[in-house]
Amino acid sequence: MRPLSRFLAAAFALFLAGCDGRGGGGTEHLRAPEPAGMAQAREAMVHMMEREDLRYRLKDPRVLAALRKVPRHRFVPEALASEAYENRPLPIGDGQTISQPFIVGYMTEVLDLKPWESVLEIGTGSGYQAAILGELAKEVYSIEIIEKLGLRAEALLQSLGYRNVHVRLGDGYRGWPEHAPFDAVIVTAAADQVPELLVEQLKMGGRMVIPLERSGAAAPEPGVQELVLLRKTPEGLKRETFFEVRFVPMTGEILGR
């Protein structure tokens, strides 16, 4: 595992934004004017996710405010910007996707982050989930195994002013022990079992949200997982299961342990 090149990331950030940003952690960000209609599309997206007639909906006002603020169209390929506020995943290259906005919001909401907490994200991807976390937590530590995605995400996050989001290249299976223990861990790729090294890096009372593959007779077709919230207690992990999801599989050392 190795830190990202600050020189390359900074240069790319200037290319993306044309200026340096500042803020993060809920402060105002310096941004270029949005294309026409993006703010309205983002508001419509969030309004749909908080409708009271939905079985699963978002309720936390801080999470909803973050979704209203973060420009998802900046985190998808330019050719797909017009589709950024549809509630569906989109390809971001290298066989990876940006998760659908509802899943990003729901995973964030169940973590119940406080402004003074630190969170570890496994799988930076586009950087969108990290930006949402950056609006809510004090510090966000995000690990990406694909160099191209990690460099691009860090540059964009820096250009948008997220000084409290730290991106690192490496294998998320091993976590980021230098900054442990964490109040929360969010895993944005599917695993067939809970990574023990990540549990070790959780504080007592900490929470982890992760898509886990089902096994045995109850397993559905391949590629379907369950979204699970784990709480670390003196008696062990307490598990709460929500609904079926589809995430790309976790890669790296977890495949060969």
Catalytic amino acids? 99
Q: Are strands 96-98 and 202-213 parallel, antiparallel or unpaired?
A: unpaired
What tokens appear for 17 in the block? 């934004």
CB-based contact 227:242 (threshold 8 Å)? yes
Q: Compute how many other C-beta atoms are within 10 angstroms of the C-beta atom of residue 104.
A: 25
Backbone CA torsion sign across 166, 168, 172, 174:
negative
To the nearest 5 percent, what fractions of the chain are helix, strand and coil? 35, 25, 40
The residues near 237 (Cβ < 8 Å, ≥ 6 apart) are 194, 199, 230, 231
